[in-house]
Amino acid sequence: MATIPEFQTLGLDNFQSSYHADIYLLDHVTQGNNHITTAHKHDFYLFFLIEQSNGTHNIDFIDYPVRNYQLHILLPGQVHHWQLADDTKGFQLMFTQNLFDSFPNAINLSASYPFKSPSVIDLNQETFQLLNYEYNQLDHELKKEERLWDMILLRWRIISALIAHETARSHTDKNLSKPHPIVSQYLKLIDEYYKQSKKVSFYAKKLNITANYLNILCRKNANHSANTLIQNRVILESKRLLQISKLSIKEIAYDLGFEDLAYFSNFFKTHTGISPRDFREKL
């Protein structure tokens, strides 16, 4: 089965050869020339705190205007690229899944629609100053010759707690800011198995509930059917691969678990209104 070329997914080592195993903070003023403007994705989380900038940040095919006093949240696997002003000021906080999992209750983030955090949050001046102070303190700790991991972790947790508060506040639908635990687990299973199975019954069995009950929970807590959530995840990954990979459309179909190219093409067009080939050519 075809796989995505490795260079398309960047890790922390792509940004600096010497860094803490789980966390790295990039000062955009002194290191901004290291950013990559072509579409790509990461295997880590990125919290970009912007003090001053303008331009556009595209995250999973949505353009977000860049302004002063913003927080941009990027999750592992999301495809993004940006065009930022040369005088951009801010910090890019990058950290691994391993670090995120060590503090699981801080922020409810998922790559699956609709429970992912708002990708861009406009901050008021007070909140920005709080976050900016903590980012600067974390930067100070990370630059020490003898780093104190306990202090670094404490600063990271404070930042995570502040951002958790902002993401909850920014959800337009408060019922979706804290999803039902079974639905949350369902979304995690989709992320893990969507290439292997696209049937609700497969996931319901793993959750030890009926497909009908799972569908009821999804409609009530996610405003979508259980089947739609699977389809949304497949379409999102299809778009990502069509944009950043060198794979042929046939290879992408097989990578996503479709045995027939025509079926994949019909599936994609039904849900997007455009064929995979036309979608790729428009990019």
CA distance 137 to 166: 20
Average pLDDT over residues 91-96: 92
CA distance 103 to 263: 41
Total-model pTM? 0.84
pLDDT for residue 110 is more than 50: yes
- CA 139 to chain CA mean position, Å: 23
Backbone angles phi, psi at 175, to 5 degrees: -70, -20
Q: Which residue has the higher pLDDT, 167 or 83?
A: 83
CA distance 16 to 22: 13
Q: What is the mean pLDDT of the chain?
A: 86
Backbone angles phi, psi at 130, to 5 degrees: -60, -50
Residues of the chain within CATH 1.10.10.60 domain(s) are 181-282
- pLDDT score of 147: 84
Place of tokens 């072509």: 38
Please check whether the domain covering 6-176 is classified as CATH 2.60.120.280: yes
Per the CB < 8 A criterion, the answer to whether 49 and 132 are in contact is yes
pLDDT in tens, 208-233: 999 999 999 999 988 899 999 999 99
Cα dihedral value 246, 251, 252, 256, nearest 10: -140
* β-bridge partners, 91: 27, 49
Backbone angles phi, psi at 46, to 5 degrees: -135, 125
pLDDT in tens, 149-183: 899 999 999 998 898 888 877 765 555 556 688 99
pLDDT for residue 114 is more than 70: no
Residues of the chain within CATH 2.60.120.280 domain(s) are 6-176
Reference 89, options 62, 41, 49; nearest CA is: 49
Average pLDDT over residues 123-141: 95
Helix, strand, coil abundance in the chain, percent, nearest 5: 50, 15, 35
3-state class (DSSP) for residue 74: strand
- pLDDT score of 107: 59
Residues constituting the chain: 283
CA distance 112 to 165: 20
Q: Could you give the percent of the chain with pLDDT greater than 90?
A: 59
Superfamily of 181-282 according to CATH: Homeodomain-like (1.10.10.60)
